[in-house]
Structures are given as C-alpha cells and as structure tokens.
Amino acid sequence: MTPIESVVIVGGGTAGWMAAAAAARFLDDGHRRITLVESDAIGTVGVGEATIPPILGFNRLLGIDEAEFVRETGATFKLGIEFVDWGGRGERYFHPFGEHGRDFQGVAFHQYWLKHRHAARIGVLSDYAMAGVAAAAGRFAPPATDPRAPLSQLAYAYHFDAGLYAAFLRRRAEAQGVVRIEGRISGVETDAQTGFVGAVVLEDGRRVAGDLFIDCSGFRSLLLGETLGVGYRDWSHWLPCDRAVAVPAARAAPLPPFTRATAQAAGWQWRIPLQHRTGNGLVYASAHLSDDAAEDALVAGVDAPLAAPRRLSFTAGVRERLWDRNVVALGLAGGFIEPLESTSIHLIQTGISKLFWLFPDKGFSAVERDTYNRLMTEQFEYVRDFIVLHYKATRRDDTPFWRYVRNMAIPDSLAHKIALFREKGRVMRFDHDLFAVPSWVAVMLGQGIAPQGYDPLVDAMDDARICAAMAEMRAGYAAQALRMPLHADYVAAHCPMPGVSGG
Ligand SMILES: Cc1cc2nc3c(=O)[nH]c(=O)nc-3n(C[C@H](O)[C@H](O)[C@H](O)COP(=O)(O)OP(=O)(O)OC[C@H]3O[C@@H](n4cnc5c(N)ncnc54)[C@H](O)[C@@H]3O)c2cc1C
C-alpha cells in the first residue's frame, strides 16, 4: 500500500475551501502536500448562503468557534424555511428544523396530530416544533442540554456570506499548511494508459502534479467532466428550473431567523437574511420565463438593491460517477440540485466525509471508489426526490409552469413515498436519507397532501389524555419562545459582524 503524498484541489469556491480546510485538519500528517489552485480572474459562483443543521457538525469537526464564524461570515441563525404560495396561492407553511412534539408510546407525534387535527385548539403541526414557534416569533437561542426542556428540541443552521465563508476557511487552511496557487488552469496532463490525471498546467506554464485530484472547479467540471469525460445524468424533466438571477439588498429589519421561499409564476424566489445584507434570488425555468423578465420581476420586488443582478444558468442533475480514476468531484463540479432546501453545501460536506472515510492509497481500489459512487449517488437521489415533492404536490394550475410540474411523471421512489403517506401518514425513510421524518411530514402536509387515515396504534391511547398532553406541549413551546431573545438581539449580544449594527 503506497500512501497518497500529494492532494491537489482544483477550485477555491465553497467546495474547494471546505475540502482544503478538512484536508488540512485530517490528512496533514506532516508528509502529505495539500495544494489548492484557483483563479481570481474566473471567480466563484458567488451564491450559496443557506445551510441545514449538519453544517454545525462540519464546523465542530474543524474546531471552528461558532461566535467567531458567525461574526466573520456575517452569518445569522436559521430555524427552517417558510414556503409561501407553494401548495396553492395564498397559502404558507413552515418546514422547521428539529422534531415535531414528543412521540407517545413509540408512535410518531404527527400521527396523534393527524387524528386530532380538526379538534378545537389543536393548531397547525409547526405549533409543535420548537424551531417553528421560535421562528414565527422572530426569536433565537441555542438548544438546551436538558432533554426534558422544549428548547432541547430546537435545531438550527446558518445563513452566511458565501465569499466570506470561503475566505474564512482559506485563512484556516493556509494557516494549517495548505498551499494556494493563483492562476488559470489551461491544460490537464493524463496518463496515456490509465487516463489518470497527473498534473494541471497553468496558463503561465507552471505544472501542479498530484496523486489525488479533488475537482471543485464549479459547473465547468474541469477534471471529472471535461478531462475524464464522465457524463451527466440530466434531471431537468423533473426539475425544469435552469436559471437564476440574484441580487443583494439591505439588511432586513426585524432580522428573520429563517429562509423564505416564495413560489412565483415560473419558479420561486429566495430571501436569505444576513447581518450585513439580504440575499435575494429568483430560480426559474427558461422555457417559461425570459432572462430579462426574470431580472425585472426580481428587481421590482426587492427594496434597495445593493449591486447589479447576477445571472446564472445550470442543469439539474449529477455526474454518472463522482469519483473516477484519481479524481473526486465536489460541489457544482459533481452535480446540482436547485437550492430550495439548501442542500448543495451539505452535499459537499457529505462528499468530504465519505472521501475521508474511504480515503485511497496510490492503488486506488475499485471497491472503495464504487462504494463512494454508490453512496453519493444515493444522496443526490434522496435530495432530488425531496425537492421534486415540492413541485409535484401542488394544487397550483395558474401558469404553464405549475401545470407542467403538477402533471409530470416523477421518480418511482417518490411516487411510492407519496402513496404511502396518503394512506396513513407514514413516511418510508431510507437509512441514509438526509431528510428525517419530520421534514417529509412538514412538506407533504404543507403542500396539501392529506392522509386518509392515521396509524391505528394511536387509538390505543385515550383521546382526552392525548389532547391534554398536546395542549400542554403546545403551550410549553409558545412560552419558551417568549423567553428567547429576538434573533437580532441574540446576534448583537453574542456574535455581531464588525461594523454592522441593526435591530
Ligand atoms: C442560484 C444558486 C443558489 C444557490 N444557493 C445555495 C444555498 O442557498 N445553499 C446551498 O447549500 N447551496 C446553494 N447553491 C450551491 C452553492 O452555491 C455551491 O454548492 C457552492 O457555492 C459550491 O460551489 P463550488 O465551489 O463547487 O463552485 P464555484 O464557486 O463556482 O468555484 C469554482 C472554483 O473553481 C475555480 N476554477 C474554475 N475553472 C478554473 C480554471 N480553469 N483554473 C483555475 N481555477 C478554476 C474558480 O476560480 C473557483 O474558485 C446555490 C447555487 C446556485 C447556482
């Protein structure tokens, strides 16, 4: 077994610097060289600012101090996503992080809610999610450690400035020995027999050789796609949005602790609150909306834009293999699913942890590579199904775009999930499925899928006792939320971005 001595990361966006920071922490044994090549002239995609709770685990593994991270990236806290106009126009629902209520006797809480949902004073399901209740009140506090406290059920993630996040990780990675090379790659050397990548060549003739290459070159997929010719599975028949336009605006006041996703005529609009600005963007299908009309619609609905709108185009899907020969692709170089549930950065994190788990030697074993590809492809498919659900389960038919998505054929895996949920509200969750049962339940119900029944085990519990317990739980979440500081006050007290003030 000959160990890998040199790792070359191509690209310095979120994917590249996440990989570099993790490699510096876990691969640097004093013998291995870790090099990152990026081109300031090409730049990064410049978007990607909302995350999901597992990012906390990534930061923790890297030994990142939360307050420092939040200050330096202009971050805010995120308790979930508010969906506006998705199931039908005029409707809204909240997908909270964390759990809904407490299970009784091994049966999921939402089953009890399903049985009693029409009773007086039961409320909506997110009234039983600590994150949902706190978000509605605009409040934030970190989870409690006492498992009996309602606050222990709160889960959260961050919104952060993508450019500042990459810069933050870069400082850490460089301090830990990663060598950054500035320059545009104009050629790639491969072995004539094996096809393995041997080196990347910069415009000025410099050569950067390595054993393992991590392709973080963005949508271009310089090594995996362009050089090794690994094909792309196109999922645009299920996810027809293929464009986005983004524009930053002034900081929102009050500062919401959640992302908002508002359905529009041919796509949807995001609002991501940061400490120093608000990120806004419209994701849309070019078959149904022109780029100029999209930009006009976005800018018209945004107060005080801070910069010119930025246009992006993409195709939903994933590479046929994410690891081929000695190249592993992370981030946009490997695939892209629109950011409706903020999953791309998470997929980078997953790719990094699986790569380190299966870290190769110079022999590049086929079984390790195939295992990686199988696990990562599954991850992309789970995310795909969850996002497609938001489109398929709509009652909207007011535009050609919504008529297309509500009538389109969907993956069998998702069709089965929906059918099972319609029956008695059960969720079929695969072992590695990123989204847990509460997430599927929140979105299925939020989009208007009403189960015909509920789990019969619920009938074993006395109705009056259940309703009383539910009322107590709901009051507990509401009271707890009122004891939490306003999100803006929490940020100002614990982790304000230098030079930013606001309420
Ligand atoms: C509209 C939109 C919204 C998004 N929102 C979210 C979100 O809210 N949450 C989320 O998790 N994700 C989101 N994403 C995805 C997220 O932006 C990406 O996953 C993330 O930024 C990682 O990008 P990257 O590093 O793969 O690519 P990039 O940022 O494009 O970086 C590519 C790097 O490769 C370098 N490079 C390329 N070619 C060469 C060359 N020839 N020579 C040298 N260097 C080269 C570039 O200079 C750059 O440094 C969004 C994406 C889009 C398109």
Distance separating alpha carbons of residues 155 and 435, to the nearest angstrom: 13
Helices within 192-270 (DSSP H only): none
In DSSP terms, 232 is beta-bridged to 319
Q: How buried is 225 (Cβ within 10 angstroms: 0-12 exposed, 13-18 middle, 19+ buried)?
A: buried
Output the CA torsion sign for 87, 91, 92, 93. negative
**Given the CA of residue 334, which atom of ligand 1 is nearest to it?**
26
149's CB contacts (< 8 A; 6+ apart) are 480
Query: What pLDDT score does 502 carry?
Result: 62
Low-confidence residues of the chain: pLDDT under 50: 503
Contact present, 393 and 418 (Cβ < 8 Å): yes
Give yes or no for residue 14 CB within 6 A of ligand 1. yes
Helix (H, G, I), strand (E, B) or coil at 105: coil
**Given the CA of residue 49, which atom of ligand 1 is nearest to it?**
8
Q: Find the 14 Cα to ligand 1 centroid distance in Å.
A: 6
- Model confidence pLDDT, tens digit, residues 241-299: 999 999 999 998 899 999 999 999 999 999 999 999 999 999 999 999 999 999 999 99
Type of residue numbered 214: I
Nearest CA to ligand 1 atom 6: 48
**Given the CA of residue 259, which atom of ligand 1 is nearest to it?**
8
Give yes or no for residue 344 CB within 6 A of ligand 1. yes
Contact present, 94 and 100 (Cβ < 8 Å): no
Distance separating alpha carbons of residues 166 and 380, to the nearest angstrom: 23
Tokens read off for 416: 């089965």
Q: Find the 111 Cα to ligand 1 centroid distance in Å.
A: 40
Output the CA torsion sign for 436, 437, 438, 442. positive
Coarse DSSP helix, strand, coil percentages of the chain, rounded to the nearest 5 percent: 40, 20, 40
Residue with tokens 């990152």: 36
- Model confidence pLDDT, tens digit, residues 350-381: 999 999 999 999 999 999 999 999 999 999 99
In DSSP terms, 261 is beta-bridged to 83, 270
Of 384, 14, 314, the C-alpha closest to 173 is: 14
Of 21, 354, 341, 381, the C-alpha closest to 157 is: 341
Backbone angles phi, psi at 115, to 5 degrees: -65, -40
pTM of the predicted model, to two decimals? 0.97
Q: Find the 372 Cα to ligand 1 centroid distance in Å.
A: 22
In DSSP terms, 335 is beta-bridged to 318
Give yes or no for residue 39 CB within 6 A of ligand 1. yes
Q: Find the 19 Cα to ligand 1 centroid distance in Å.
A: 13
Output the CA torsion sign for 73, 74, 76, 78. negative
Contact present, 169 and 25 (Cβ < 8 Å): no
| DSSP letter assigned to residue 351 | H
Q: Which of 170, 332, 340, 349 to mutate to test the pocket of ligand 1 (most atoms within 8 A of CB)?
A: 332
Contact present, 397 and 405 (Cβ < 8 Å): no
Is 78 among the residues known to form the active site? yes
Give yes or no for residue 314 CB within 6 A of ligand 1. yes
Give yes or no for residue 339 CB within 6 A of ligand 1. yes
Between vectors from CA 454 to CA 451 and to CA 460, what angle results, nearest 5°? 170
Q: Find the 46 Cα to ligand 1 centroid distance in Å.
A: 7
Give yes or no for residue 49 CB within 6 A of ligand 1. yes
Helix (H, G, I), strand (E, B) or coil at 235: coil
Distance separating alpha carbons of residues 126 and 85, to the nearest angstrom: 17
Tokens read off for 355: 């790569």
Give yes or no for residue 331 CB within 6 A of ligand 1. yes
Give yes or no for residue 309 CB within 6 A of ligand 1. no
**Given the CA of residue 272, which atom of ligand 1 is nearest to it?**
8
Number of H helices, E strands in the chain: 14, 21
Give yes or no for residue 465 CB within 6 A of ligand 1. no
